[in-house]
Amino acid sequence: MMPMTFLGFLDCYPHIEVPMLQRDYAQGRLSQKNVADNFLDALFEVVKGKKPALHLDLIYGYKDQEGGVFKLIDGQQRITTL
């Protein structure tokens, strides 16, 4: 599959589910504040036009057989933050 933008991903998969196999969401932990702040700073640089793009790495998952829900395997924190 070709890489796509975040908005393209949401157009293709408007319903995303985080299955129970995912570990707990960690971005809100005080011990991870620096990581979260750096991530948000990088996002705002793109939104404000200071950087042309931001590569957020891959988001892994699969589309369920019923045809609509994207079952997230990796990328929970990126999706939730965005």
User: pLDDT tens for residues 29-62?
Assistant: 667 678 778 878 888 898 899 988 877 777 778 8
The whole-angstrom separation of Cα 24 and Cα 38 is 20
User: What pLDDT does 29 receive?
Assistant: 65
pLDDT reading at 24 higher than 70: no
With contact defined as beta carbons under 8 Å apart, do 70 and 59 qualify? no
Domain ranges of the chain: 6-81
The mean per-residue pLDDT over the stretch 6-25 comes to 74
Q: Is 71 helix (H, G, I), strand (E, B) or coil?
A: strand
Other CB atoms within 10 Å distance of the CB of residue 80 = 13
